[in-house]
A and B are shown apart, each in its own frame.
Chain A
Amino acid sequence: MILLEIKALSVTFPTATGAVQAVRSVDLQIEKGAIHGLIGESGCGKTMTGMALLGLLPKGAQVAAEVFRFDGMDLATQAAYLRGKRIALISQDPAAALNPVLTIGRQMDDVLRTHRTQPKAARQAVAVELLAATGLADPVELLNRYPHQLSGGMQQRVVIAQALATGADFLIADEPTTALDVTVGAQVLALLRKLVSERGLTVLMITHDMDVVAAVCDRATVLYAGLSVEEGPARAIMGRPHHPFSAALLAALPDAVPRGHKLAAIEGRIPSPTQAITGCAFAPRCPSCLPVCPDTPPPVRGNSDHRWACHLDKGAR
């Protein structure tokens, strides 16, 4: 069952000097129970896409989409209603997500009180159960602790427990491991994977890190300059990317070539969000650019399982 379906989502900010297109055209299709990666570099619109799903865009943002549906409901009008009931956010920096002057127990209860009608004792039992489900040892004792007394990994587990406390079944995880150490990040990813299979959750994993995608994602979408350029099974995108940008992103990783060899950096810069794009957005930086690329929008190739937008008929390489 397709839980989330987005077609041609755009987010625009009108300014005095012209419209800033944070998201130009993003397509997403996420099956229930999947972890779907949203990959891209700074400024590609991945966080703005997540915020649009949550109805948390900054003032003045203009959202448009051909299809913008979550479980049969129209996100354009229902995003604020769904937030906290069905959709919850796990943000990058757990220390900033938690209130430093309130105990963990109070912060868990704030969420539970808002979303459930239960007496206090029952709520506390739920809080303890959820904290335990995120792998935190001694959850009863934890209720009286403050965020600064916990490590970064423990704080992120508390944030995940809060997201579960809302009762949401769709989690937007925005770079959930970026602020954590590598070994701790690996544990948090394993936890998310476990929660998805045990509780039937669905996760949109926003990340710039290909290793995160390879470790936990079932499918993934690659964004460039606010556009979806490739969508497919995570393993296929990692193993044989078809869009030249996806290929270039993987080739730029430091372990893509033997030690000390020159890395395949992507020259140039992403187009400015105020710039209009007529043809393929990646054309000016693309190593296999054809004469047609800069002026004609690329056709979508592939099949419903794995598709990409490119003029090359065989894809990258």
Chain B
Amino acid sequence: MTNPILDVTDLVVRYKPRGLFVPPPRPAVNRVSLGLPAGTTLGVVGESGSGKSSLLRAILRLVPVESGSVTFDGRDWLALRGADLRSARQGIGVVAQNPFLSLSPRLTIAQILSEPLLARGDRHGSDLRDKTAALLLRCGLPPDFLPRRAGELSGGQAQRVAIARALALGPRLLVLDEPTSALDVSVQAQILNLLMELKADFGLSMLFVTHNLKVVAHIADRIMVMQQGVVVEAGPTEKVMADPEQLYTRELMGFGRDFARSRS
């Protein structure tokens, strides 16, 4: 058994109360623990207010943590400061929900992809150009996309660019926040296929956050269901999907074609 690449123990995130005499609110994330073995995908499922985004932000160190510990790649993640944090963050790639919001409309695709490389200290030149072209090609877009801007791309193409950018610094962990929710079903299938290929090729670990249990059931090795800041169910995907312990998990599977079969 390999060591987990990401290990979260008893994590609590609580936002500030809205006024001086207002009692502190319920924690957005309440004693959540998770382990992500290297090379596997964990799906985090929940509805609005379940705390899944707060959990993600805490792991990315974007919101302060009240208590608990996070270990990433063997290091105490929450203790890192300044330059150490900056360099350690290269180990995590992030893909957001809406590529048209996460990609600058002013920059060309080439500029978008070289930005993280330049920030790391790479120099302009043919090396950089080759690197960005290779990244883009690996994500399924030919190099003639490099001079274009995000506004000229379809949703699926833009999300491919966002994934290429997340991979630019060779991360070990990819954090995906609803990466297919803004896309059509036919395009969602392309992106899910791409993510599965990348996972196999690079041995990536993934933290996949979504409200769509069917998407996550397809791509994740393990599933964690959150409700109101608490993990209500966690386990291997097959187990959770075939025999959910919680009524809530069954409700999340939702209505639809299974329901239609049982209707009549």
Question: Which residues of A are in contact with B by a Cβ distance under 8 Å?
Answer: 41-42, 152, 181-186, 189, 208-212, 214-215, 234-235, 238, 248-249, 252-255, 257, 259-260, 262-267, 269
Question: What are 19 A-to-B residue pairs whose CB atoms are below 8 Å?
Answer: A181-B47, A182-B211, A182-B212, A182-B254, A183-B251, A209-B256, A210-B256, A215-B256, A238-B257, A252-B185, A254-B189, A254-B217, A254-B218, A255-B217, A255-B218, A259-B218, A260-B196, A260-B219, A263-B193
Would you give the 0/1 interface string for B186-219, flagging 1 where the beta carbon is closer than 8 Å to chain A? Answer: 1111101100100000000000000111110111
Q: Is the beta-carbon distance between B154 and A269 smaller than 8 angstroms? A: yes
Top 4 nearest A-B pairs by Cβ distance? A211-B256, A254-B218, A181-B47, A265-B189
List A contacts of B252 (CB < 8 A). Answer: 182-183
Shortest CB distance A42–B (Å): 5
Question: Which residues of B are in contact with A by a Cβ distance under 8 Å?
Answer: 47-48, 154-155, 184-190, 192-193, 196, 211-215, 217-219, 237-238, 248, 251-252, 254-257, 259-260
Chain B interface main SS type: helix
Shortest CB distance B208–A (Å): 12
In angstroms, Cα B214 to Cα A253, docked, is: 9
Q: Is the beta-carbon distance between A189 and B219 smaller than 8 angstroms? A: no
Nearest A-chain residue to B241, judged by Cβ = A259
List A contacts of B254 (CB < 8 A). Answer: 182-183, 185-186, 211
In angstroms, Cα B259 to Cα A266, docked, is: 26
Nearest B-chain residue to A177, judged by Cβ = B255
Shortest CB distance B261–A (Å): 8
Nearest A-chain residue to B257, judged by Cβ = A214
List B contacts of A152 (CB < 8 A). Answer: 48
Shortest CB distance B1–A (Å): 21
- Pick the residue among A41, A211, A255, A267 that contacts B184 (CB under 8 A): A41
Q: Is the beta-carbon distance between B217 and A259 smaller than 8 angstroms? A: yes
Q: Is the beta-carbon distance between A212 and B186 smaller than 8 angstroms? A: no
